[in-house]
Amino acid sequence: MSNDIEKENETTRPAAPTFVYPPQDPDKTKVLAISPVNFQVQVHQEPHLRHHWRLDTQYPGADPGYSEGQSLNGMFTQRVAIQNGPAHFGARAHIRDEWTEWGWIWFTVVAKPTMSPLNGASGPRPRFNGTKTNNSKAVVSLQFSTGKSVTVEGSTSTSWTYQTPVGQEMVPGNYTVTVSYVGVPNSSSTYTFTVGLTPPAITSPLHDAVIIDKLPVVAITGYPGAIATVRKSGNGEVLIGNVLLDGGGRWSGRITREIALGQHYSISVIQKFNGLESQWGPNVRLRMLAPPTITSPTQNQEVDMRITVSGTVNALFKGGTIRIKRDVAGTLLGTATVNTSTGAWQAQLSVNLIPGDYSLTAEHVFSGVTSLGASPVRLKVRPSRPQLTAPDPASGVNPVLTGTGGHTGATLVLSDETGEDLGSMTVTGDSWSVSPRSALLPGGYAFKVRQSISSMQSLWSNVRTYTVRVPRPTLTEPITVTDQKPSFSGTANTWEKQTEPARVKVWNTNYPPYGPVANVSDNRWTSTVTEPWAPGTYRIGAYQLYKGMDSGTITTWVSLVIPAPLPVITGIEREGFSPRITGTCWSGAALELKYSDRPTVDHPVSGTDGNWTFRRDLVFAPW
């Protein structure tokens, strides 16, 4: 062995080997290696069996190491574990029974660069940090699984950092990055990291929006190309499933399942992309505004033309206003303010409903949003109740009844407590008048009216009492008299529904005598006295009778003169030169006789009981 060492100084030896790895460089500080170092030495082109190597920089004065074996193409390799720091490695080979000169390489052993783990998912511009040697010649290289490669300039710092630049944002996904020194074999380490998928968001409707659509349109923003799913309250019922966000990360459309009105309903969105699933986006609460409920009037109720409508709203939406509208037509009929404590409301309509079948609904205006209409309430609207103002005075024969509250086009019917249709007319305005279509039976009446249109009848009006008097009859003039017996006639009333005969009684102011009571037939009457009336002047009137009632005070009187009947001479008896004359006359009548011999002289005859006798005291001259 000592002989071999002595040959080191001989100049006839073969050339010293060269180093393939680590590479040789005039600047010894540039050569870096990672322990254990795999030295690759090019000794000679000829095969050789013996190699000689020495690491004296790290172990000064150490014995050289030996390695024996067949080299290939003159290449000799040696793997040596070396502490971090500067190192000096030498090698020679035994060729053709002699040793080559020593070949030397200066290098620095350094630790591999490291990268701090990225805990959890990072954003699209992840920041990478790690450790490195303080050798300024060490340049850290990052090789991404995307194919992208970046370097971090060397420095004397023991740490390195790299922030993904703006404009080079990374697509969400799982990645690897290999960290190494540029040009330093075996210095690489591979790490995994994730560029996270941020939660998407529902941009419409807004949080706490008031909604009336059971299938509202939802707008989503997220990552372009991601698959989004909208569910109830995070992980509940799927409302929109697996929709593709466009190149701008947007999508909008209707949900696929109805959301019931009258509740608060929270929805959120999640997205998937490149094998990743995001967290749920922020919850968006929807306030599903339900239609109000009409509690009065009720279905198919008969109502007046001007009514009050009342109801309630959903307990979650106390407040706002109510609008009452005609169903289908949408005519506004009235409004109301919702009680914020109870949710109740009451609307006094500002317009009259149209008589007949009528349907109305209600809308709830809350936070500027108008609900759907309430379930329609179908009503039967009666015309307004008319007001009966006359007859006045409250008695007569043929009343004319007048009033107000008429509905144009309605048929107004006159009736009494029996409910019988006594007469009708077509209303042309607010004021109206109506009369019985035929003469009413004498008696007391409680008149009332009501009007009808479109098969709907109003309520009965107020009641006006009225007495129908027995009408006054007429007395025909002149009155005929036969044999002192007057015969009376005239007109009077009969009625279709009378239950006993109508009669007329003749009244004599010089009563008695009276004329006999006569029945009325075909509105005519006749009464003939059966006994002669005494001569004289009479004041005659007539009144009509029916069921204990009469036509009242007689206002028209007829004068009747009954002349005295002519006396009758029944006998002349001779009694000297002055005969006794006898006869008859009206009982109690005063008679005067005239004689032809003295025509200007009246001869009174004393009253008699209807028979009379007279003898003139003055005798007659013989003839």
Please report where in the chains the tokens 């006999």 appear, as a residue.
Answer: 516
pLDDT of residue 11: 47
Same domain for 427 and 402 = yes
165: domain CATH number? 2.60.40
Local confidence band at 617 (pLDDT 50, 70, 90 cut-offs): confident
Contacts for 66 with CB less than 8 Å, ≥ 6 apart? 50, 51, 52, 53
Q: Which domain holds residue 596?
A: 568-615
Does the residue 345 lie in any domain? yes
Beta strand 189-195 pairing with 65-68: unpaired
Phi, psi of 450 (to 5 degrees): -150, 160
CB-based contacts of 397, cutoff 8 Å, min separation 6? 439, 468, 469, 471
Q: Are 105 and 23 in contact (CB under 8 A)?
A: no
**The predicted structure's pLDDT at residue 317:** 97
Binned at pLDDT 50, 70 and 90, residue 283 comes out as very high
What's the pLDDT at 501?
Answer: 93
Instruction: Look at residue 7 and tell me whether its pLDDT is greater than 70.
Output: no
User: Is residue 388 scored above 60 in pLDDT?
Assistant: yes
Beta bridge partners of 465: 446
Cα angle at 31 between 27 and 37, to 5 degrees? 150
| Per-residue pLDDT reduced to its tens digit, 493-518 | 998 888 999 999 998 887 777 889 99
Helix (H) or strand (E) holding 76: strand 75-80
223 and 258 share a domain? yes
pLDDT surpassing 80 at residue 565: yes
Q: What confidence tier does 253 reach under pLDDT thresholds 50, 70, 90?
A: very high
The amino acid occupying position 587 is S
Q: What is the Cα–Cα distance from 306 to 451, expressed in whole angstroms?
A: 16
Determine, yes or no, domain membership for 375: yes
Q: Helix, strand or coil for residue 360? A: strand
Q: Whose structure tokens read 């339900």? A: 290
Q: Is the confidence at residue 161, as pLDDT, over 90?
A: yes
Summarize pLDDT for 442-466 with one digit per residue, the tens: 988 999 999 999 899 999 999 998 8
Q: Report the pLDDT value the prediction gives residue 564, as an integer from 0 to 100.
A: 84
Q: What is the pLDDT of residues 210-250, one digit of tens each?
A: 999 999 999 999 999 999 999 998 668 999 999 999 999 99
The rounded distance, in Å, linking the Cα atoms of 504 and 554 is 12
With respect to residue 487, please indicate whether it lies within any of the assigned structural domains. Answer: yes
In a domain, 42, yes or no: yes
Radius of gyration of the chain (CA): 70
More confident residue, 432 or 82: 432
Question: How far apart (Å, rounded) are the C-alpha atoms in residues 491 and 544?
Answer: 10
Do 70 and 89 belong together in one domain?
yes
- Asked whether residue 367 carries a pLDDT value surpassing 80, the answer given is yes
Q: Are residues 25 and 104 in the same domain?
A: yes
Same domain, 373 and 420: no
Q: In this predicted model, which residue has the larger pLDDT, 29 or 71?
A: 29
In a domain, 471, yes or no: no
Assign residue 298 the CATH number of its domain.
Answer: 2.60.40.10
pLDDT digits (tens, 9 = 90+) for 50-88: 566 666 443 344 445 555 555 556 677 778 888 888 888
**Same domain, yes or no, for 10 and 88?**
yes
The length of the chain in residues reads 623
**pLDDT score at 490:** 95
Instruction: Report the mean per-residue pLDDT for the chain.
Output: 88
Query: Domain tally for the chain?
Result: 7
Query: What pLDDT does 394 receive?
Result: 64
Please report the pLDDT score of residue 145 as a whole number. Answer: 94
Give dist(CA 51, CA 19) in Å, integer. 14
Task: Tell whether 474 is covered by a domain.
Answer: no
Residue 10's pLDDT is what? 47
Which pLDDT value is given to residue 197? 93
**Which of 59, 82, 109 is the last residue in one of the domains?**
109
Spatial CB neighbours of 346, under 8 Å, sequence gap ≥ 6: 308, 309, 310, 336
